[in-house]
Amino acid sequence: MEYTQLGRTGLKVSRLVLGTMNFGPQTDEADSHAIMDAALDAGINFFDTANVYGWGENKGRTESIIGNWFAKGGDRRDKVVLATKVYGNMSPDNSSVWPNHDKLSAVNIRRAVDASLKRLRTDHIDVYQFHHIDRATGFDEIWQAIDVLVQQGKILYVGSSNFPGYKIAQANEAAARRGGTIGLVSEQCLYNLAERRAEMEVIPAAQDYGLGVIPWSPLHGGLLGGVLKKQAEGGRRSSGRAADALNDPAVRKQIQAYEDLLDKHGLEPGEAALAWLLTRPGVTGPIVGPRTAGQLESALRAVELELSEEVLAGLDEVFPGPGPSPEAFAW
């Protein structure tokens, strides 16, 4: 496994991030623990979750599965850089009736941290991430709440997720004005070959402010994982985002060109899509969310995969991206 520093921090993390969103809803606790053990054995030390994972009546379940894994001992917690998120509604009756159980008010941040620590069975969170922007709460209030938690030793670093470039700037300028606050150190955003809009402003803002970029959905809901080849071979049919996208003839033609290019070079689409992200400026490591041990093994091979200049150029032809801002939309 390769390691890199998370943004401008001294924290060293693996070039692949283990995403845990499937733990609970799709992968039971025993298999989830086996996947985490395999990831740790392979050198993956960066684990990502969120307080709402488990979803619906089971929200918080994923954090509990991770906490039970930590409780097994074997230095599991000490070896892991643990990241979780706050924003989603965690109202105890699973409704929106009760206020102050979501978003980024000082009240909810304090409540959410303590609840996550309890579920995760740990005394601190390494990277605490804002899952979404909160248009109703100013950054001065947010950073005041974070400062207290850092002083208490409950969190070490703070990251963002799904922030536009201007919000990354606002957040870190507010932190700088306060003094003594490190500000955001990472941004977790939707970024892959088929969805490159982050290159316009989010990634440049992250680079300018020293944030590590952590792409989520690196296979774009399975669309970049060899979906057409699997269909042709009678494998599992696509669903969700991938199935909806393939209903568009233009998208289907683009994905066919992508798979043909990689087949020509003897490359597996899912592994190549991950390897491409590892070549992108500012990227710390993509989040991989395996449902099975086999999917984890495939993701691990991507770290060792070196894409030739010919392949990289071919991928740019199939998925050209928007180009930098402001040239992408102006002269």
The whole-number average pLDDT for the span 67-77 is 97
How high does pLDDT run on average in the chain? 95
Are the beta carbons of 115 and 61 closer than 8 angstroms?
Answer: no
* CA 322-271-220 angle, 5° bins: 45
pLDDT, tens digit (0-9, with 9 covering 90-100), for 142-195: 999 999 999 999 999 999 999 999 999 999 999 999 987 889 999 999 999 999
SS (H, E, C) 152-188: CCCEEEEEEECCCHHHHHHHHHHHHHHCCCCCEEEEE
Cβ contacts of 79 within 8 Å, gap of 6 or more: 40, 45
The whole-number average pLDDT for the span 249-260 is 96
| Domains of the chain by start residue, with CATH | 3-221+270-310 (3.20.20.100)
Cβ contacts of 95 within 8 Å, gap of 6 or more: none
Q: From residue 307, give the alpha-carbon distance in Å to each of 93, 155, 278.
A: 49, 37, 10
Percent of the chain whose predicted confidence (pLDDT) is above 90 = 87
Task: Identify the sign of the CA torsion 169, 174, 176, 182.
Answer: negative
Q: Which of 3, 53, 87, 128 is catalytic?
A: 53
pLDDT band at 302 (very low <50, low <70, confident <90, very high): very high
Task: Tell me: pLDDT of 306 over 80.
Answer: yes
Task: Tell me: pLDDT of 326 over 80.
Answer: yes
Which candidate, 129, 118, 126, 124, places its Cα nearest to that of 87?
129
pLDDT, tens digit (0-9, with 9 covering 90-100), for 196-249: 999 999 999 999 999 999 999 999 999 999 999 988 887 666 566 777 888 899
Are the beta carbons of 54 and 66 closer than 8 angstroms?
Answer: no
pLDDT, tens digit (0-9, with 9 covering 90-100), for 102-135: 999 999 999 999 999 999 999 999 999 999 999 9
DSSP assignment string, 84-143: EEE-S---TTSSS-STTSSTT-HHHHHHHHHHHHHHHT-S-EEEEEESS--TTS-HHHHH
- The pLDDT assigned to 240 comes to 67
Structure tokens at 80: 């892991």
The number of CA neighbours under 13 Å toward the Cβ of 234 is: 0
Give the Cα separation of 159 and 125 in Å (integer): 12
Which candidate, 288, 324, 328, 314, places its Cα nearest to that of 39?
288
Cβ contacts of 278 within 8 Å, gap of 6 or more: 15, 285, 286, 302, 303
Are the beta carbons of 192 and 277 closer than 8 angstroms?
Answer: yes
- The pLDDT assigned to 238 comes to 59
The whole-number average pLDDT for the span 287-309 is 94
Is 191 part of the annotated catalytic residue set? no
pLDDT band at 68 (very low <50, low <70, confident <90, very high): very high
The whole-number average pLDDT for the span 298-325 is 96
Task: Identify the sign of the CA torsion 154, 158, 162, 168.
Answer: positive
